[in-house]
Amino acid sequence: MTRNRPKTLLTFLAASLALLYLAGCTGINTEQTDPTATAAAQTTFTPVPSTPDILPTEQPSATPLPSLTPTAEGCTKTEGRIEAGELSDPALSRPLSYRVYLPPCYDSARPEGYPVVFLLHGQSMTEAIWEEMGIQETADRLIRDQETVPFLIVMPREEYFLQEFKESEFDKALIEALLPTVAESYNASSERACRAIGGISRGASWAMLLGWVDWENFGAIGAHSVPNAPFSSSRLRTLKEAIPSGDLPRILIDIGESDRYFKGAQQLHTLLDQLDIPHEWQVEAGAHNTDYWQAHLETYLRWYAAGWESCDTNLPRLNPATASEI
């Protein structure tokens, strides 16, 4: 046993020297570690910067969208829109609801106002009938294809459509309240030649009546499936005499050959002939219903727009090459 002690002592001393050497090289603290000190050391540790290819980069700013302000040559919008409104006026017993179609690239700042047509619905209907028949899609297509100049469409509602014309306040609502509101709220032309009024069924009778009584406001009248003449021969003669020579409105009367009100429309046509009032008289296949009016909706809009070429000296047109790319 005594013979092995020197060897064991040498081995112990060698191991101790090795531990001391490793502690000095690696910085190992042989004392008990303080957890607080360790945590502090970790929080103040400064990391080596990441390589440039994984550094967070600043996101590029969003590219501004093209301006929606239309120009005569740069406009590419192909769809218009319809806005709904309600007009309250002390002169009216109840608010007047209406809708307005605005064409593609409508610009409220254009120096010249847009031509406008007021379209009146028939009995037992509302102004929604025009949208149901596709008025927006039809107008969009005509304007997009440059078949017509851009224009506005105003579609008011007649709440009491069973009243006699002389008892109704619908005419006052249109002329005294709606016309000024449209002129103030939209870029509608104030020129008589650039403003038309038309309607279907009862709305056609209203259009004929208002187009003559307030001829200063309307340069064209569309009486589509008009059921009867809204005035007598003597009154129409008086109205005609009040209009300066050359300022008679353009007039279109169309009716389906199977329309139950065909005789009434024909009587109006005959009355205009007797008083030597120029007008267009068209008899088409069809009856007094939505199918007939929807089938002729494009024809109606083309007819109104045919008198508006002089209203469009600077109004924006779509660029066909650009529009076709959308």
The stretch 194-213 carries a mean pLDDT of 97
How far, in Å, CA of 56 to CA of 269, rounded? 79
Question: How is residue 209 written in tokens?
Answer: 């009546």
In a domain, 324, yes or no: no
Q: Over 70: is that where the pLDDT of 196 sits?
A: yes
| pLDDT value for 245 | 82
What is the reported pLDDT for 74? 66
Looking at the domain assignment, is residue 175 inside a domain?
Answer: yes
Please state the rounded mean pLDDT for residues 78-106: 91
Mean pLDDT of 65-88: 70
Q: Is the pLDDT of residue 59 over 50?
A: no
CA angle 301, 199, 177 (to 5 degrees): 105
Tokens linked to 27: 């910085």
> How high is the pLDDT of residue 75?
73
- For the chain, percent of residues with pLDDT exceeding 90: 63
Range of the domain at 195: 81-309
pLDDT in tens, 85-96: 999 877 677 889
The residue among 215 and 7 whose pLDDT is bigger is: 215
What number is the average pLDDT over the span 247-259? 97
| Structural domain contains residue 10 | no
Q: Which three-class secondary structure state does DSSP give residue 218?
A: coil
Residue 168, in any domain of the structure? yes
Q: What is the pTM of this model?
A: 0.74
Looking at per-residue confidence, does 29 or 184 come out higher?
184
Predicted local distance difference test score (pLDDT) of residue 314: 52
The answer to whether residue 252 scores a pLDDT higher than 50 is: yes
Higher-confidence residue of 54 and 186: namely 186
Residue 312: pLDDT band by 50, 70, 90 thresholds?
low
Angle at 181 between CA 83 and CA 125, to 5 degrees: 55
Q: Write out pLDDT tens, residues 313-323.
A: 554 444 433 33
CATH for 296: 3.40.50.1820
Closest by alpha carbon to 204, among 95, 116, 288, 97? Answer: 288
Question: Between the CA atoms of 223, 229, 233 and 235, what dihedral angle is there, to the nearest 10 degrees?
Answer: -80
Residue 87 domain flag: yes
Identify the residue with better confidence: 65 or 172: 172
Cβ neighbours of residue 188 under 8 Å, at least 6 residues apart? Answer: 113, 114, 116, 152, 182, 195
**How many CB atoms are located within 10 Å of the residue 168 CB?**
16
Digit-coded pLDDT (tens) for 110-125? 888 999 999 999 999 9
Q: What is the mean pLDDT of the chain?
A: 80
Sign of the CA dihedral running 271, 273, 276, 277: positive
Domain assignment present for residue 325? The answer is no
Q: Are 113 and 190 in contact (CB under 8 A)?
A: yes
Name the domain count of the chain. Answer: 1
> What would the mean pLDDT of 137-162 be, rounded to a whole number?
95
The answer to the question of residue 233 being in a domain is yes
CA-CA distance, 99 to 252, in Å (whole number)?
24
pLDDT at position 258 over 60: yes
> Ramachandran region of residue 27, left (φ > 0), alpha (ψ -120 to 50) or beta?
left
Lowest mean pLDDT among 134-143, 148-157, 160-169: 160-169
d(CA 155, CA 101): 8
Tokens linked to 67 = 């301006």
150 found inside a domain: yes
Indicate if the pLDDT at residue 97 is higher than 70.
Answer: yes
Q: Measuring CA to CA, how many Å separate 253 from each of 77, 226, 271, 306?
A: 34, 7, 12, 16
pLDDT tens for residues 263-308?
A: 999 999 999 999 999 999 999 999 999 999 999 999 999 999 999 9
* pLDDT, tens digit (0-9, with 9 covering 90-100), for 1-47: 444 444 444 444 444 444 444 444 444 443 343 443 333 333 333 33
